[in-house]
Every structure is written in C-alpha cells, then in structure tokens.
Amino acid sequence: MNEELKGLLRECDALKAKLSSQRLLPVEALKKIEEAFNIEYTYESNRIEGNTLTLQETELVVNKGVTIAGKSMREHLEAINHAEAIDYIRDFAKTDKAISERAILEIHALVLHGINRENAGRYRTVPVRISGSSHIPPQPYLLPEQMENFIVRYRELSTQHVHPVLIAAYLHEALVRIHPFVDGNGRTSRLLMNLYLLRNGYTLVNLKGDDDTRRAYYTALEASHTDPIPFQKLVAEAEIASLKRYLAVLGVKW
C-alpha cells in the first residue's frame, strides 16, 4: 500500500479513537450537531450535481419547509430527499442489516422520490454515458450480474480485514463505475459510502461542491478505473477533515 495512504489511514484511526472517547454528550446535544452536519452534507452533495440552493436555503427548505423563490421544484425535492436519505443511512447503520442491493435501491428511491417516479429505486434499462468521463458504463443487460459481483466483492473485502475507509471508497467508486441508474448515481454512491463509514464508527465524509474540490473529486474518480489510490487518498483526507471538524465542535484538540 502507498505509504502516504497508510499514514492517512493511521491518522483516521487515531482521530476516530479520540472521538469515540468523547461521545458522552447528552443525546440532544449530539442530535443538534448531527443535524447541522446533515444539512451541510446535503448542501454539498447536491451542489456537486448542480443544485443552486445555498447552505442557508437548504436549511430553510429541509427544516422549515420554506419555498425559495426562483428555485426549481426539483432543487427543493433534491434537498428534502437527500436529508431523508441521510436519516435512512444513519438508522440503517445502527442495525445489523446487511448492506445489499436492496439497501442501495432503497437509498436511490429516496434520492429520486417525486423527481423521477419511473426510475426511482430501479436499475436503468437504457445505455448511459458519464459526462466528462471516458469510461463507458455497462449495457443494461449486464447490470444484474455486475451488481451481484459488486456486492460479492464488497463482502470479500469485509472479511479480509481491509481498512473501513478503503472499503467505503470502493463502494463509492465501484458503484459509480457501474452507473446502475439513469440519474442519482453520484448522490447514491456517496450515501452508500457514508452508510459504511457510519456503521464502522466514522463520521460522514462531506465532499465539497466548489469548483476546485469538485474537479479534484472527478479527476480521482476517473483515475480510479485503473488506479484506486488517488480516490482512496481523497476519501481518507475527507474523513480526517470530518473527524477533526467533529472534534472541534466538541471542543477537543487533536
């Protein structure tokens, strides 16, 4: 394994251990922190995909039910749906349910709820291309086999003592590579990655939607088709940033 990546994973483990020792706050206090992080994650994940709601507008739409003038109904639904999907993965992570194709379809159904009823929670039946990528996703008739192999590979990694952050990165990049949905692949992949991280005691990875960060994200994803390390490093760095942010909110130095 790349030495820089090893160092990042060690830092993840050290920060996670520090955070685990601090999680004795009252439930209501923790809930408020998580709600703030959820809104930021919803804002940034949707921003990556072109949603123009600001952070404040996202909070108003999700928590207050406010309609923002000049913003489309789709943008409103994307915010509401994503927030509900985060609640879903947080609840799912606390159970002993297996991460499966069914779970992925349920996440996707939430992401596209009310936006694309025909395709929400269903694999695509048409060929697609990924904008800005040279990678050509598999034809629709190959999706059942590829998704089955995807889950099999995930379970293999889980039994091979592979670091959880690397498995989370795999879940994201491999699902994007398969691109099983007509729409919502990016959001669903990021939610799946975070479901695995939450289940393993980590915090939400919040990949930013500003131009420079989004470009680096897409570049690393494109490279992952032949070399997984750049994307693994990006996810590890994002997890470190998230853990440090969480510790800072708790007033803990690292």
How many whole angstroms separate alpha carbon 77 and alpha carbon 177? Answer: 26
Does the reported pTM lie above 0.85? yes
Average pLDDT of the residues of the chain: 95
How many whole angstroms separate alpha carbon 194 and alpha carbon 202? Answer: 9
Residues annotated as catalytic are: 179
pLDDT in tens, 27-62: 777 788 899 999 999 999 999 999 999 999 999 999
Domain made up of 3-249: CATH architecture:
Orthogonal Bundle (1.10)
- Tell me what pLDDT residue 1 has: 78
Q: Where are the domains of the chain?
A: 3-249
- Tell me what pLDDT residue 60 has: 98
Q: Indicate whether 24 pLDDT > 70.
A: no
Residues in the chain: 254
pLDDT in tens, 74-97: 999 999 999 999 999 999 999 999
